[in-house]
Chain A
């Protein structure tokens, strides 16, 4: 069977406020799954439940079909949202320490730490106290801390916030490596453009409930009304009177329009050619931000 991290009907309340309502989704092995939602939508609570830092009121989380035990979670890698390591310990020492807490031998933890610090670009800074590093470098150290024990599953809460573009690239490369090695990678972000660039799969949460989940292409297909862009020589205002067309945007010779479901786009193109040269005619994929806006409402 495939390796899947699965959430099944997870509920959680704080006091009388229910923050997660019947949350179910899968994170498949070898894929980067983006977890998006507004502030307070329940992303962090969900991740804490996966890691066993919080208990679910109902429902369960399974990995490879078995409920999560501490043993199994010990092989997960986790990067909490508001993060920090020990400010007064050196980077190397605390990454080794966390490796050992996750069950590595002293020697194994040391070796993994060296490789990883080198990989995230902190090779030279290993002996520096964490508090003396820039925020971006502290973030890199945090990534190293989450990865030191070569986790089977990665759960990262906002791994890219506070990173400069160069660091984002480094981190992305490291995460892709892990995904390619077969680990499911779940990461949350409110930077939709970053998610769009990175994720294979997408889970959208709003107000404690999963609104959409699936591969990026699937979601695009599902949540897209067929939309096209047309550029002609002269004014494209005539589109208004075409059957099955609703104009979204008209700017002189350029128009963006939606087609009624099931309608064919070719008659529109033909109608345009009848009126003169057509400079461009192409389907428009909605951006993640647009899908997000649509399903979150």
Chain B
């Protein structure tokens, strides 16, 4: 049994077990539905242009502005149509705009002459949109790395707790076990965010906002390699944390640093999303770069070389953590008497 074949078998088992796990399937489905709702619903709910009731005398400029005009015989009929909810607004003599509760922006602008507007930074992204996108990236990374990271830790603990690990270690190299779990977790996580990304892009395309799509698509495209490496970084920490304990109940104690390493960057990215210097720093730090860099790309602040530089830094960090995690895993996997300290695990080799 060579290490490659063993890794493949271990990964295949992890994936097979996960794909049959009802909790996993339900949480994936919910995640998927949230992404679909967030992108498909707004254009659906927004509806078309407002319906306006007007006499033929004032209908001209309204039609010219692309509004749906319903011609009525007189002003009284126009008012009645608004009251009955048949139209969103009416234009009567004056001209006066009638509406039930809210001033209809499109109708007003169709009837007034707007002053000339000149945008000095036409490329800058709408700040609300920027926040939503930042939140979405941070949330997806947070949730996915947390979910699949915890699963790697749980699977390691399960093998320790049941002692099946002794049979496994007698049969295959320890590193193949770890590699199989990491690969399975990464594939499942990538599969999940790939689905979410697909839904998001489809939703935006469905909304017909091609400008937004052209900004979002590269950010999502880059998010995937960043996610991949960022996930390996965090999963390596989860693997080490899982190997240090013997019972699922004990994972809380050792996983605190890992939780913080995921949580702090999550909040930092959300709170600093409009702070240029803050985001620049976050986009290079390995724990926050998976979300901060794609966001900077989306808001147009990042040069192409910056993406590669940050990705390279993340790669170095991920490899470093992976090696360290593997060493802790090897050092503590067979210590089945209580919790192993990080120091002991680091020193113990086999």
Nearest 3 interchain pairs by C-beta: A84-B162, A80-B166, A51-B170
- Which residues of chain A are near B45, meaning CB under 8 Å? none
Chain B residues engaging chain A, CB cutoff 8 angstroms: 1, 6, 9-10, 13, 17, 158, 161-164, 166-173, 334, 336, 350
- Which residues of chain B are near A78, meaning CB under 8 Å? 166-167, 170
Q: Residue of A at shortest CB range from B350? A: A55
* CB-based contact A102/B171 at 8 Å: yes
Give Cα distance in the complex from A98 to B13, angstroms: 11
- Which residues of chain B are near A55, meaning CB under 8 Å? 350
A48: CB under 8 A from chain B?
A: yes
A89: CB under 8 A from chain B?
A: yes
* CB-based contact B167/A98 at 8 Å: yes
Give Cα distance in the complex from A81 to B164, angstroms: 10
How distant is B158 from chain A, measured CB to nearest CB, in Å?
A: 7
Per the 8 Å Cβ criterion, residues 21-76 of A in contact with B are 48, 51-55, 70, 73-74, 76
A83: CB under 8 A from chain B?
A: yes
Chain A residues engaging chain B, CB cutoff 8 angstroms: 48, 51-55, 70, 73-74, 76, 78-89, 97-98, 100-103, 145-146
- Which residues of chain B are near A74, meaning CB under 8 Å? 1, 171
* CB-based contact B164/A101 at 8 Å: no
How distant is B266 from chain A, measured CB to nearest CB, in Å?
A: 31
* CB-based contact A80/B13 at 8 Å: no
Give Cα distance in the complex from A85 to B172, angstroms: 16
Pick the contact of B161: A70, A76, A84, A145 (CB < 8 A): A84
Q: Residue of B at shortest CB range from A80? A: B166
* CB-based contact A101/B1 at 8 Å: yes
Give Cα distance in the complex from A89 to B172, angstroms: 20
Give Cα distance in the complex from A145 to B167, angstroms: 9
Q: A83-B162, A85-B164 are in contact. List 16 more A-B contacts (CB 8 A).
A: A52-B169, A53-B166, A53-B170, A76-B170, A80-B163, A80-B167, A81-B163, A82-B163, A82-B336, A83-B163, A86-B17, A86-B162, A87-B158, A89-B17, A101-B10, A101-B168
* CB-based contact B9/A100 at 8 Å: yes
- Which residues of chain A are near B350, meaning CB under 8 Å? 54-55
Pick the contact of A51: B6, B161, B164, B166 (CB < 8 A): B166
Pick the contact of B170: A52, A87, A100 (CB < 8 A): A52
* CB-based contact B334/A53 at 8 Å: yes
- Which residues of chain B are near A79, meaning CB under 8 Å? 167
* CB-based contact A101/B163 at 8 Å: no
- Which residues of chain B are near A51, meaning CB under 8 Å? 166, 170
- Which residues of chain B are near A73, meaning CB under 8 Å? 170-171
* CB-based contact A88/B167 at 8 Å: no
How distant is B179 from chain A, measured CB to nearest CB, in Å?
A: 14
A-B contact pairs, 19 of them (CB 8 A): A51-B170, A52-B169, A52-B170, A53-B169, A70-B173, A73-B170, A73-B171, A76-B170, A78-B166, A82-B163, A82-B336, A84-B161, A84-B162, A84-B164, A86-B158, A97-B9, A101-B9, A101-B10, A103-B1
How distant is A93 from chain B, measured CB to nearest CB, in Å?
A: 8
- Which residues of chain B are near A52, meaning CB under 8 Å? 169-170
* CB-based contact B163/A84 at 8 Å: yes
Q: Residue of B at shortest CB range from A83? A: B163
Pick the contact of B1: A54, A86, A102 (CB < 8 A): A102
Q: Residue of B at shortest CB range from A101? A: B171
Pick the contact of B6: A48, A53, A101 (CB < 8 A): A101
Give Cα distance in the complex from A74 to B6, angstroms: 12
Q: Residue of A at shortest CB range from B171? A: A101
Give Cα distance in the complex from A83 to B170, angstroms: 14
* CB-based contact B13/A97 at 8 Å: yes
How distant is A288 from chain B, measured CB to nearest CB, in Å?
A: 28
* CB-based contact B164/A86 at 8 Å: yes
Give Cα distance in the complex from A89 to B17, angstroms: 8
- Which residues of chain A are near B167, meaning CB under 8 Å? 78-80, 98, 145-146
Give Cα distance in the complex from A146 to B168, angstroms: 11
Give Cα distance in the complex from A88 to B154, angstroms: 13
